[in-house]
A and B are shown apart, each in its own frame.
Chain A
Amino acid sequence: MKRYDLVVVGAGPSGLSAAIEAAGRGMHVIVFDENEKPGGQLFKQIHKFFGSKEHKARVRGFRIGQELLEEAGRTGVEVCLRATVIGLYQDHELVVRIGDAIEHVKGDTIIIATGASENMVTFEGWTLPGVIGAGAAQTLMNLHGVLPGKRVLMLGSGNVGLVVSYQLMQCGCEVAAVADAAPHIGGYGVHAAKIARCGVPFYLSHTIKKAEGTDHVTGVEIAQVDEHFQFIPGTEKHFDVDTICIAVGLSPMSQLLKMAGARMADDPKKGGQVPVCGRFGATSLPGVFTAGDVAGIEEASSAMIEGRMAGAAAAAYLGFMNEDACEKREKQLTDSLSELRQGMFAPQNKGKQLTVTDEGIPLSKTLLTKGYVSDEEIEAFPGFTHRVGVHPVIECTQNIPCNPCQDVCPKNCISIGDQITALPKVAGGAECVGCGMCVASCSGQAIFLVDEDKGDGTAEVTIPYEFLPLPAQGTVGTALSRSGQPLCRASVVQIRSGKAFDKTNLLTMSVPKEFAMRARFFRADKEAAK
């Protein structure tokens, strides 16, 4: 039986981070993962992450995955793929199925980082081919380069539902609608706004009544639900779709810990059955630690920090790190993690319905129900400013832990301050040079450059643009509002695609000046797009 200082189960963001942290301190580490490739879900995350610089904010998830793999290689972490851990027994013994063989392995410490699996809902026809998980859509399009469908209905308005909807559009699918049984959009407002301005309608307090089709999905019927989640007769709406995507949350995959006898708890705020954890992911079993979604559903950025914590804790447990060094390291990681666990969407605020921002500004109600901030509401936010000449207009209206806009502005036009969840302000006096770094760096794509009056009755609006085909300079089309409604004619005056923008192109369009503060997306005319 092979023996390691540390066995990590799961090569996702938390497992790899744990392995790197431990191996860097001299531990002999192996990571088992059942998949063909390591990285967990990171390689399907093609959007830019939130947070601050140290959380790898504005870096796309798959690039973070590449960095982790390189770091794992450098630190000597052994990653064993196609290896399913099927049992965790007494005395730290694991049983692993590798290919068609069963092997026994012993870890002096063990970190369980098995992540989570998708939740499902049932409705008439839910087993029809064409009803897929949101994760399946991401896997097909972002890993395998295959369109999940032509026209999709998304069920679920949490961050997964919103982000996957956007990604579906990026690869050329049409998103017919986003529906959610809850009365409010669950994910970040900025993610909702990205798809609302492309014209995707939101149906809150709506869920799927049935999937239509005999051998595969040909349509879907949704209907409104009351406060007890019962269908309201007469509110049915039909969509012709070939795919129904389900994004209704995740559940921790904590079975291994349960079978090993770790103390478990049912915690709805953490997503289900989770191990009861002490400091730094210590379970009730000595030498067995946990990190990431398996210990409570969050997201990849916090999972990576939790992984580091568990890795350091395992190192200290075996004496690879002295108490002092461990305490110092854990303090550093705790600070970094608590920075991410702030703001409206922090774990402690789960389920709360907030009405004002930390600054005391009323939260946009249309954002929570329709996915965009209304023209009237947007004026109240500190990033929404009117100036002479080109200037950033920041439509960031919820307190989330994120500050790349402040970091990247070379002229210090944008300020968030020390409180990372504060809404960004456009600083008075500082002069914008129109470089567009803020537009490209905003992970929520909520920053626009606007020159409200070019002196000839027109205005110029620069928007982030991550779709193909990329319209050429001179392309004519329609400017769309925040709600995705056609506003006016528009023409592309400039396209910028610098390396620093990392695939977020900057599209500058010219519109009549009365639409400067409303035009937020560009759709090329059909003939021009060819």
Chain B
Amino acid sequence: MSERIAEHPILGKIEKGRTVKFTFDGKELEGCEGEPIAAALKVNGVMVHRYTKKTHQPRGIFCAIGRCTDCVMVVDGVPNIRTCITPLREGMNVQTQYGVSPLTFEEQAEKYSR
């Protein structure tokens, strides 16, 4: 879906960190160390970062500078992490956020109904 800019007519080659592995919803993906988690996800074609709590609407990158909080996800078990300004580190566990949980709404319903 989305790609890295190999060479830019003005900026030349954009310097990036080394390639590292991280997981997204259990899948192993690659990104550049130090770039925002959101950038690494975008390169991997991930558009949906979370689903809203009440109406379950998809959300993704919107402002990309940490203001709007649309792109928050569960990172290493912590919800509401602004992925557009949080640098990617090797081995990070990034999960889609459903409401404020990494569990899907069905899983949450099942878990909390008992």
Interface residues of A (CB under 8 A from B): 34-36, 46, 60, 62, 117-118, 127-133, 135-136, 139-142, 144-150, 170-172, 215-216, 242, 466-468, 470, 503
Contact = CB atoms under 8 A, between A and B. Distances in A.
Contact of A144 (B36, B59, B66): B36
A304 B1 CA distance: 39
B42 A145 contact: no
Contact of A170 (B3, B9, B43, B48): B9
A170 B1 contact: no
A345 B64 CA distance: 29
Contact of B2 (A136, A146, A170): A146
B63 A118 contact: yes
Given A142-B11, A145-B16, A35 B4 contact: no
A141 B35 CA distance: 12
A61 to B, nearest CB: 10
Given A118-B63, A139-B64, A147-B2, A170 B36 contact: no
B62 A136 contact: yes
A133 B16 contact: no
Contacts of A34: 66
Given A144-B36, A149-B2, A468 B60 contact: no
Interface string B1-43: 1111101111100101000000000000000000110010011
Nearest to A131: B62
A130 B60 contact: yes
Interface residues of B, number: 35
B61 interface: yes
7 contacts: A60-B10, A128-B58, A132-B62, A136-B84, A170-B10, A216-B58, A503-B9
Interface of B: 1-5, 7-11, 14, 16, 35-36, 39, 42-43, 47-49, 57-67, 70, 84-85, 87
B104 to A, nearest CB: 14
Chain A interface main SS type: loop
B45 to A, nearest CB: 10
Nearest to A145: B14
Nearest to A141: B5
Please list the 6 inter-chain residue pairs (A to B) with the smallest Cβ-Cβ separation, ordered nearest first: A129-B60, A145-B14, A136-B64, A216-B47, A129-B47, A139-B64
Nearest to A242: B1
A37 B63 CA distance: 17
B57 A216 contact: no
Contact of B4 (A62, A147, A150, A242): A147
Nearest to B68: A133
B85 A35 contact: yes
Contacts of A145: 4-5, 8, 11, 14, 16
Contacts of A35: 65-66, 85
Contacts of A141: 5
Contacts of B60: 128-130, 216
A140 B42 contact: yes
Contacts of B58: 128-129, 215-216
Given A139-B65, A144-B36, 5 more contacts: A60-B10, A144-B35, A146-B2, A466-B10, A468-B7
A147 to B, nearest CB: 5
A141 B42 CA distance: 12
A46 B63 contact: no
A466 B7 CA distance: 12
A147 B60 CA distance: 15
Contacts of B66: 34-35
B10 A136 contact: no
A133 B63 contact: yes
B9 A466 contact: yes
B9 A140 contact: no
B5 A133 contact: no
A128 B59 CA distance: 6
Contacts of B1: 150, 242
